[in-house]
Amino acid sequence: MSRKWLEQEGPDWIEKQIITREQYDEILNLYPVHQRRMQLLPMLASVLVGLSLLTFVASNWDGMSHMVRLIILFLTMTGFYTFGYSFYQKGHFWVGQGLLALGVVSFGASMVLIGQMYHLIAYDARLFVFWSLAAIGLLYLLRRTFFFYLASVLLLAGQIYAMISFGQVSYLLIVITLVALGFYAYDKKQYSYGWILAFLIGLQSLFLCVNQNLAMGWVGIIPIALYVAGLWLGDRPVARGFKVVPISFSFGFATFMVFFHEYGYKDVDFLPNLISFAVVYLILLGLAMWKMKRDFSRWSPFLLFLPLFYFAYGGLLYLIFMFLYSGILIYLGDQERQSWKANLGVFLFLVSSIVGYFQLAWDFLDKSIFFLVGGVLLFSIHLALRKRNRWLAKGGE
């Protein structure tokens, strides 16, 4: 049992009247924050000891026969797994996780070294498929967040390796991401799962578009699809990442369009087939409408999802909508008393200002004017929000 788990589960116990708020606070005080931080030390120590062993073996690798190498690889891997699981079973969770993670690392390293020993040639990212499945096996066996992160890193590394080395996307890695990680994260109360999943799916979808030589406009479908997935996930914790990551993705895509739309628009391969794109877009829009109804706050991200690249002045339109959405986000954050949303809006407003300045005014506007205008705008927003808060404090009279 950990404090983090208690913080996730405790409010439900109070709501179901299993325990009182006072009892919950007393239980929570038994697991102070500093103890969780101290638990990281033994895990890091086990990782460093394991890495020292791997480094020693690697430094003497050339002087060993193939049979000795195989024995060392087998003993190293099974040793990490055995001692890691033993420590974990005895309640030393962080040490156990560290050693088990080294077991996963040594498993992948063994496959690489064996391939080098016998001159095996790889034509795809199959190695990372088996490697990530080793981490996912531990994830389902022990149900620890650490192995979710480890599997995510291996899946991401495998997909990047496939793109750089073979110029292709590994469909197996995509399936593992969607099925294995997605199924595990579906009903868990860990918000980070949603952020990681949305990022992995979005990035791999981008790789897929590049690999299939699709028109650049199809990239704009990715954030819409992720956002709609977040809507259909409902109020589950995993849904939050699918509602925020697409906004960052769309801002990146919009920034790209601001700078390169005028060049890409002249290329017939830049724009997707209008009918095909419209069908996909309208299907996703219909699925979103089914879930959002009249909730304005949920509709606002669609300002960034509009296919403005079909218009001659799409770059300018993207910039305008970046400013518009940033302002709406600041307003919604203030209305809903959610500081993170207002702060995100301010940050996106600054990004929009920088993008607009470099694109429209870099060559002829004095640099000091840019900072002056941005500062005046933000100061004006700050004063307007403070004035509104004082008005609300007086009862809105």
Mean pLDDT of 212-219: 86
The rounded percent of the chain whose pLDDT value lies above 90 is 22
Question: Which of 56, 45, 49, 4 lies closest to 28, judged by CA?
Answer: 4
In the structure encoding, which two tokens stand for residue 92, read together? 């030393």
Of 81 and 362, more confident? 81
Mean pLDDT of 133-154: 92
234: left (phi over 0), alpha (psi -120 to 50) or beta: left
Provide the pLDDT confidence category of residue 155 given band limits of 50, 70 and 90: very high
Residue 204 predicted with pLDDT over 70: yes
Provide the pLDDT confidence category of residue 93 given band limits of 50, 70 and 90: confident
In the structure encoding, which two tokens stand for residue 348, read together? 């996106």
Residue 303 predicted with pLDDT over 90: no
Query: How many angstroms separate the first and last alpha carbons of the chain?
Result: 51
Give the pLDDT score at 396: 44
Mean of the per-residue pLDDT values for the chain?
Answer: 80
Crossing angle of helices 339-356 and 367-393, rounded to 10°: 160
Provide the pLDDT confidence category of residue 10 given band limits of 50, 70 and 90: confident
Residue 180 predicted with pLDDT over 90: yes
- What one-letter code names the amino acid at 142? L
Mean pLDDT of 26-50: 61
